[in-house]
A = this chain, B = another copy of it.
Amino acid sequence: MANTTNRQIVIAARPNGKAQLSDFNIVEQAIPSPGDGEVLFRNLLISMDPYQRNLMGNASSELPPIDIGQPMSGPTVAVVEQSRNANFAVGDHVVSWSGWQEYGLSDGSDLQKIDPEAAPLSTALGVLGHTGLTAWLGVSKFLNPKPGGTFVVTAAAGSVGSVAAQLAKLRGHRVIGIAGGPEKVRYLKEDLGLDDAVDYKAPDFAEQLARALPNGLDTLFDNVGGYMFEALMPYFNHHAQIVICGTIAQYDFPDAPNGPNRLPELLKSFLYRFIEIRSFALPDHLGSHPEFLAEVGPLVSQGKIKYSEEFVDGFENIPDAFLRLFDGRNRGKLIARVGGTRARHQATP
């Protein structure tokens, strides 16, 4: 029997600190019908990313929060089920930004067709999708360090950090990854081949960091901010280059936390060490996607860039899986498989 309802996971409440299950709700609506020029697609894979915490409100963010009652936004891999748009045929696979819902409607402008034969569909949400592109932009377009220096990546076992660290390694840097727990440290050193890895959850984190950075750091790809950035500040070398890609450690804290105030120390690092900090917004750089794919696509298929994915089955399990992103329990790109049991790959409208 054809499915007639579209389930959505909506923001039920603004989190008070850490997000909780009760901040989400699952609602049902009728599957919409495409108007002239529109496409109806069914999501197969739904991405969960740390930045989505910021879209829930009460966060250290300047992104506008999603309205209460509206579904979480974000990228998905979908299959076209009905099309009134000449550019898309039923059965086409696309990346959409329809977020946490089972079906989406689009005029096509925010859809990107993908070839399901070229690479596993899930890579379009990770190593060859928005997280890989983010890593590549940071390393290739916003950092320009001399090879041979020390390149630090925080949240290095994560979906962005792991690609950034491997790209930095391929460019000839001494790459140090920071991640939580011995298994991730092993993964970074043995599987990804980084020069060293530091466990931020270990009681001797400070000592591990000092051992890993005997000559300071020349480049930092930071996904964490907060206490992690503060721990790294003393290691900034003269002319160190830094990309701030995320501040996951401070997403839950909308106000200035208790001191000591580390801002004067950072200003001093600008004044005396000439450090440079940059950031960028992914939507401003989507035009670089072909250049990114041309470089990173072959590296992935040759196994020179490894990636890790963690799948969660079932639409209703998305909120619980999402919350894992914030306690360091997951590794690699976190993706929900939602189309499995209801697959209608050749559905007719």
> Is residue A277 contacting chain B, with contact meaning CB distance below 8 A?
yes
Is the beta-carbon distance between B268 and A61 smaller than 8 angstroms? Answer: yes
In the assembled complex, the CB of A284 is this many whole angstroms from the nearest CB of chain B, namely 9
In the assembled complex, the CB of A64 is this many whole angstroms from the nearest CB of chain B, namely 11
In the assembled complex, the CB of A46 is this many whole angstroms from the nearest CB of chain B, namely 24
**A277-B277, A280-B274 as given contacts; A266 in contact with B263, CB under 8 Å:** yes
> Is residue A271 contacting chain B, with contact meaning CB distance below 8 A?
yes
Is the beta-carbon distance between B225 and A246 smaller than 8 angstroms? Answer: no
* Proximity bits, A245-286, B CB within 8 Å = 1, else 0: 111001001011111111111111011111011111100000
Is the beta-carbon distance between A250 and B267 smaller than 8 angstroms? Answer: yes
In the assembled complex, the CB of A134 is this many whole angstroms from the nearest CB of chain B, namely 12
Is the beta-carbon distance between A229 and B62 smaller than 8 angstroms? Answer: no
> Is residue A244 contacting chain B, with contact meaning CB distance below 8 A?
yes
* Proximity bits, A224-253, B CB within 8 Å = 1, else 0: 011001100000000000001111001001
Query: How far apart sit A280 and B275, CA to CA, in the bound complex (Å)?
Result: 10
Chain B residues, Cβ within 8 Å of A250: 264, 267-268
> Is residue A63 contacting chain B, with contact meaning CB distance below 8 A?
yes
Determine which of B230, B246, B257, B263 lies in contact with A271 in the assembled complex, contact meaning CB atoms within 8 Å: B246
Is the beta-carbon distance between A278 and B276 smaller than 8 angstroms? Answer: yes
> Is residue A60 contacting chain B, with contact meaning CB distance below 8 A?
yes
Query: How far apart sit A225 and B263, CA to CA, in the bound complex (Å)?
Result: 9
In the assembled complex, the CB of A23 is this many whole angstroms from the nearest CB of chain B, namely 21
Is the beta-carbon distance between A256 and B259 smaller than 8 angstroms? Answer: yes
In the assembled complex, the CB of A68 is this many whole angstroms from the nearest CB of chain B, namely 22
Is the beta-carbon distance between B264 and A261 smaller than 8 angstroms? Answer: no
* Proximity bits, A76-107, B CB within 8 Å = 1, else 0: 00000000000000000000000000000000
Chain B residues, Cβ within 8 Å of A230: 263
Determine which of B262, B274, B279 lies in contact with A279 in the assembled complex, contact meaning CB atoms within 8 Å: B274
Is the beta-carbon distance between B270 and A277 smaller than 8 angstroms? Answer: yes
Is the beta-carbon distance between B264 and A257 smaller than 8 angstroms? Answer: yes
Interface centre among A229, A230, A257, A267 (most CB of B within 10 A): A267
Chain B residues, Cβ within 8 Å of A271: 225, 244-247, 279
Chain A contacts to B: CB under 8 angstroms: 60-63, 225-226, 229-230, 244-247, 250, 253, 255-268, 270-274, 276-281
